Amino acid sequence: MSSDRPGGPADVVPADAGGGDAERAIERQPASHARRGRFSRRRTAGAEPKKGSLLRELPVLLLIAFVLALVVKTFFVQAFFIPSGSMEKTLHGCPGCTGDRVLVNKVPYWFGSPSPGDIVVFKGPDTWTPEVSVTKPSNPVAGALLWLGRAIGVAPPSEDDFVKRVIATAGQTVQCCDAQGRVTVDGKPLNEPYIYEPTPLQSRPFPAVTVPAGRLWVMGDHRSASADSREHMNDRYSGTIGVSDVIGKAAMIVWPVNRFGFLGSPDIQGTDAAGALAPVAFGLAGALPVTAVRRRRRHRAADESIPALLL
């Protein structure tokens, strides 16, 4: 009797019984890869608008930069190109050469007025003849480029922009000359070590002018080549300029590099000595009462100690 039983359907074990799951796993794997691929494509597609958004934001960024530059130029600092030699050798400039570029600080005159010795940039009165001639832009694009060039100090300034040194302020009387050929203010000669190529003595004199309220008398350091207040004494302003027309104080030379430096305001009228003594005088005035009180207290303490010693 054979122990072998005839095989039935229940006894049949497929040879790939354990391989079905593997095949289904293999079949599922491409689907997983497909989903991952679709996710990657969506992620890549989602990154594309970022490039577009940058392009869309660029005009906004440029507009913001333009507005900030306009604010800085209007209220704080502005660069200027020196086109003429009227301020030699303090400031270098001449037609066709590399003139100095200066930064003009507007902040000092927010709450004050220019002082004698300050180098100022200003809008000249309509009676002043331009020192330089500037070709007007032929189209709006050229005009915008010229405006930008003036804002950063690489283009010639407007024809009515001037740079000079303040010599006298409102209420002061200026004239020339004393026995040594020096300009005087209120009868006192000025100390002007910066003068370059002074005008010959016979050509220097000009009559006394009392500067009206709200105006300034200005002159160039290169006296023989400067069309300043002296040249316009016969106009309705007696050669003076308005304080309100001052754009700012020339603070420093920024170009060319070999001329980089700060621009000072010398004490041309000799007023700093009195200004330096003022704090000392105020200090002494405040110290005297304190000293007197302390001495009084010491005397009182000494008087109170004498009876105690006698007892």
Domain segments of the chain as ranges:
79-272
269 band by pLDDT with thresholds 50, 70 and 90: very high
User: pLDDT for 161-190, tens place per residue?
Assistant: 899 999 999 999 999 999 899 999 999 999
Residues annotated as catalytic are: 86, 164
CATH topology of domain 79-272: Umud Fragment, subunit A (2.10.109)
> 7 or 192, which is more confident?
192
User: Residue 116: which of 64, 162, 169, 76 has the closest Cα?
Assistant: 169
> 127 or 292, which is more confident?
127
Q: Give, for 183, the enclosing helix (H) or strand (E).
A: strand 183-185
The CA-atom distances, in angstroms, between 130 and each of 39, 127, 157, 242 are 70, 10, 11, 17
Instruction: Report the predicted TM-score, pTM, of the whole model to 2 decimal places.
Output: 0.66
Q: Give the mean pLDDT of 57-83.
A: 79
Q: How far is Cα 60 from Cα 66, in angstroms, rounded to an integer?
A: 10
Q: What is the DSSP-derived secondary structure letter of residue 84?
A: S
pLDDT score for 75? 73
User: pLDDT for 225-248, tens place per residue?
Assistant: 999 999 999 999 999 999 999 999
Q: Are strands 241-242 and 261-262 parallel, antiparallel or unpaired?
A: unpaired
Residue 35 has pLDDT above 60, yes or no: no
Q: Give the mean pLDDT of 275-296.
A: 48
Q: How far is Cα 113 from Cα 310, in angstroms, rounded to an integer?
A: 68
Could you tell me the two tokens for 152?
A: 């950063």
The CA-atom distances, in angstroms, between 293 and each of 49, 151, 284, 290, 306 are 80, 60, 15, 5, 21
Residue 309 has pLDDT above 50, yes or no: no
24 band by pLDDT with thresholds 50, 70 and 90: low
State the amino acid at position 76 in one-letter form. Answer: F
Whether 69 contacts 208, CB under 8 Å: no
pLDDT score for 200? 85
pLDDT score for 81? 83
User: pLDDT for 105-157, tens place per residue?
Assistant: 999 999 999 999 999 999 999 999 887 766 677 777 777 776 676 665 566 66
% of the chain exceeding 70 in pLDDT:
63
